[in-house]
């Protein structure tokens, strides 16, 4: 899995944030080993600079492109690292669900072909 870019909006992209993103994306890369080429765009930051009261709000967005499908997830949290964790979990579930659906459709097609072949013999 290739990270095209990591974009930070209204915050400074520190090496710690960059390292956290790379470790979380590495866990997604295990799912997409056979689906090459895979690219991912990551955006982290604050929605705006004009909040004067209350807690800071951070967001993380992942956009993953695999052959035949595009996935997108965005989460907001008071802690940037929690937002990265949640968006990675959501992206993980989206990819797993898509792979399961694809496998199920392939099995259905194979079983239908098998039934058609069997019908001719009986």
The domain made up of 2-121 is a member of CATH 3.30.565.10: no
Within 10 angstroms of residue 30's Cβ, the number of other Cβ atoms is 9
- The predicted structure's pLDDT at residue 53: 64
According to the model, what pLDDT value does residue 16 have?
A: 92
CA distances from 23 to 4, 20, 119 (A): 15, 5, 52
Single pTM value for the model: 0.78
| pLDDT tens digits along 34-54 | 777 888 999 999 887 665 566
pLDDT reading at 88 higher than 60: yes
More confident residue, 51 or 98: 98
Q: Is the pLDDT score of 89 beyond 90?
A: yes
Domain boundaries, the chain: 2-121
Q: Are 66 and 32 in contact (CB under 8 A)?
A: yes
Query: What pLDDT shows up at residue 54?
Result: 65
Q: How far apart are CA 3 and CA 38, in angstroms?
A: 9
What's the pLDDT score for residue 42? 93
Confidence of residue 86 (pLDDT cuts 50, 70, 90): very high
The pLDDT of residue 36 is: 77
């Amino acid at each position: 899995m290739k990270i095209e870019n990591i974009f930070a909006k209204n915050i400074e992209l520190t090496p710690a944030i960059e390292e956290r993103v790379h470790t979380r994306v590495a866990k997604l890369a295990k799912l997409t080993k056979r689906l090459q080429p895979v690219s991912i765009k990551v955006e982290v930051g604050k929605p705006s600079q004009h909040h004067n009261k209350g807690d800071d709000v951070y967001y993380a967005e992942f956009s993953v492109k695999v052959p035949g499908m595009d996935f997108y997830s965005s989460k907001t949290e008071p802690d940037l690292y929690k937002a990265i964790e949640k968006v990675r979990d959501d992206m993980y579930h989206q990819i797993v669900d898509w792979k399961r659906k694809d496998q199920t459709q392939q099995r259905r097609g194979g079983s239908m072909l098998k039934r058609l072949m069997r019908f001719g013999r009986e």
